[in-house]
Amino acid sequence: MQQSIKLSVDAVVFGYESGTISVLLIKRKYEPFKGKWAIAGGFVLEDESLEEAVERELKEETGIEINYLEQLYTFGNPKRDPRCRVVSVAYFGLIKPSAFKIFASTDAEEVQWFKINELPSLSFDHEEILKLAIARLQGKITYEPIGFELLDTKFPFSDLEKLYTTLLGRAIDRRNFRKKILSLNILDELDEKVSKGSGRPANLFKFNRERYFKLKKEGIIFEI
C-alpha cells in the first residue's frame, strides 16, 4: 500500500493583554491562500516529534518561543487542503504577548495579534480549528487554574480578575472571586505595591509554581 498523506502541525496561540484575548495569525506568503491569514504551522519533518515541529514552526514563522503548548485535536478531512491530502495536528498555546517580539519570516509575510472577536477570514479549515481552540480555552477554566502562562510574573489581583472576566465573557463578583482563588493557595502575596496612576495602589501577587501545577494536574471544579 502506497500512502502519500502529508502531516502538518498548526498552533493556535492565545495571548492576553489589558483586558483582551488575542490570537496570533500569519499572513501567508505563498499559494494556496496567498495573502490570506492563517494560524501558524507547517509540515512535520521526518525525524522530529510533533511537539518539536510545532515549536520549530512557531519560531520560524512568528519568532515566538512558547513554554505552554498542548495538543488540541487532529484534523483529517480529506479535502481540507486543496493541494493534496494533509492531516494536521493542531496545538493550543498560551503566552504573554509582552514577552516576545513577533516578526514574520519564512512562509509568513506578516504576523499579527487579532482580538478573538475581530478575526479576519482564514485559510483552510482554520476557522474550525480556532473555534475549537476557543471553546477549549473557555472550558479549561472550569476545571483547572488559568493565568500563570498569560500574566506577568508579578501582577495585581485585578489583572487575574480581568482575565477571568474576559475569558468568561461576563462580570464576576470581585469578593467571591478573590475568596475562591486565595483559598486555592496558588498565589503568593508579595510585599510590593503598584499604582496605576489613580486609585489605591494594588498589592502584587505571583503564582506559586509548585502549587499551581500540582492543582492543575489534580484538576479542580471551578465555579465562579
Partner DNA sequence: ACAAAAGTGTTTTCTATACACCCATGG
Partner DNA sequence: CCATGGGTGTATAGAAAACACTTTTGT
Active site residue 110: yes
Q: Which does 198 bind (CB under 5 to 8 A by kind): DNA, its own copies, none?
A: DNA
Count of residues engaged in binding DNA, rule: CB under 7 A? 23
Q: Closer to its own copies at the Cβ: 3 or 117?
A: 3
The DSSP call for residue 219 is -
Amino acid making up residue 74:
T
Q: DSSP characters for 29-44?
A: -SSSSTTSEE-EEEEP
Residues 6+ apart with CB under 8 A from 49: none
Q: For cell 470581585, name the residue.
A: 174
Which residues contact its own copies by CB under 8 A?
Answer: 1, 3-7, 43-50, 71, 73-74, 76-78, 85, 87, 89, 139, 142-143, 219, 221, 223
Tell me how far apart the alpha carbons of residues 196 and 57 are, in angstroms, rounded to a whole number.
Answer: 37
Structural contact between residues 90 and 72, judged by C-beta atoms closer than 8 angstroms: yes
45: partner contacted, choices its own copies, DNA, none (Cβ within 5-8 A by kind): its own copies
Please, what is the minimum distance in Å from the beta carbon of residue 150 to its own copies? 23
| Catalytic positions, written as ranges | 110
Residues that bind DNA (CB under 7 A): 156-158, 173-176, 178-180, 193, 195-203, 221, 223-224
